[in-house]
Amino acid sequence: MESSTSTLILRSGAALVFDSNSLQSQQNLPTQFIWPTKDQALTQDHLNEPVIDLQGFRNGEKQATAEAAELIRIACSNHGFFQVTNHGVDSNLISLAYEEIEGVFKLPLEKKLSLRRKPGSVSGYSGAHADRYSSNLPWKETFSFGFHGKETENIVVDYFNSVLGLDFSNTGKVYQKYCEAMKELSLVIFELLAISLGVDRSHYKEFFEDASSIMRMNYYPPCNRNSGILGTGPHCDPTSLTILHQDGVGGLQVFLDNKWREVMPRQDALVINIGDTFMALCNGKYKSCLHRAVVNSKRERKSLVYFVSPKEDKVVRPPEDLVCSQVPRNYPDFTWSHLLDFTQLHYRADFHTLPSFFRWLNNNNNNNNNNNNNTTSHSPANTSNNIS
């Protein structure tokens, strides 16, 4: 499916302020929120992604591990989505994380606007991404923050204390624990992914031990005129792995076989999907699939998302086991810091992010080479030769 968002880059000038109640009181919603017809297609089916019980793998049972790895292999070869149960994340912690969402998104509008993400940053508040884009705006609010590397003690607590004040110290503690649980689960998933791909089971687990992650709270207000409105537009995640918990309202949809298919919410499960960076790390054997979120006309929707990526300066390349003369490299080497810079400052993530990124990277390298050549050609010795 061709997404309509690929050329929408960072906006300039005054940004629209997202106040869902105020916007819905207007006779017509601003056109910035109306998506192209091809992006509005209704869901036609359920995805029927596998629900994988991790208990056996976590207990070291060989048969359960083999079965889980095979389910992952089939799902990730097809569309890159699956759900996991008995994942080890305390259900009470998930409930607490949802409770703390209320305190952030119910803040006065002026306060939320003071917390807006700065250009190029992944941390802070965003209302409909109106500070970044000028059209095809998502009907949602987000609050994001980083969780990096091995030195993660109190990093989230300190962030909430510094940005929102001591009144949100408990929120920081809850999300500190939530991020720690997500990191632990992500390493379990990476080990299973390695097994499913037939590479050393510790390969990806070790690669992501010092991962650079982003935690995001999503709040989708109801929209009583939701024709043409999307909570999140069609895109593929540029990151490596996404771990999502969606509330009972649901709304996540995946594009497969020319149809939008719904991922049904399960309160005991977490949704896992492959991102573009992992697609490069497995040499394209697994898919990063187009997905979106729709808005409910009557009920607000909330979700918790944890995005995992490599440490910024690590080189992204597949293990040698996945490259041979019959299966050459599909993607050149790159670092997450370059891809993050590309998607934050130059390009809106869509179905074509990776090929667009490699073209951008190649152009930058060519420009740098040309600049170096120009510098050499304009040295005093060369200038004198030109004059003579």
Q: Of 230, 246, 237, 301, whose CA–CA distance to 41 is shortest?
A: 230
Q: Which residues contact 333 (CB under 8 A, 6 or more apart)?
A: 315, 316, 317
> What's the chain's length in residues?
388
Query: Catalytic residue among 117, 292, 301, 348, which?
Result: 301
Contact 335, 309 (CB under 8 A): no
Which residues lie below 8 Å from residue 325, measured CB to CB, with a gap of 6+? none
Question: CB burial class (10 A; 0-12, 13-18, 19+) of residue 48?
Answer: exposed
How many angstroms separate the Cα of 39 from the Cα of each of 1, 160, 217, 218, 324?
9, 36, 24, 21, 38
Could you say which DSSP state residue 116 is in?
B
116 given a catalytic annotation = no
CA–CA dist 176, 42 (Å, integer): 37
Q: 332, 338 in Cβ contact below 8 A? A: no
Asked if residue 193 lies in contact with residue 65, where contact means CB atoms within 8 angstroms, the answer is: no
DSSP assignment, residue 314?
A: S
Token pair of 224 as six digits: 């009583």
Instruction: Return the bridge partners of 213, or none.
Output: 147, 308
Task: Read off the tokens for 34.
Answer: 């109306």
Beta-bridged to residue 219, according to DSSP, are 141, 302
CA distance 276 to 271: 17
Q: Which residues pair with 259 in a beta bridge?
A: 256
Catalytic annotation, residues: 301
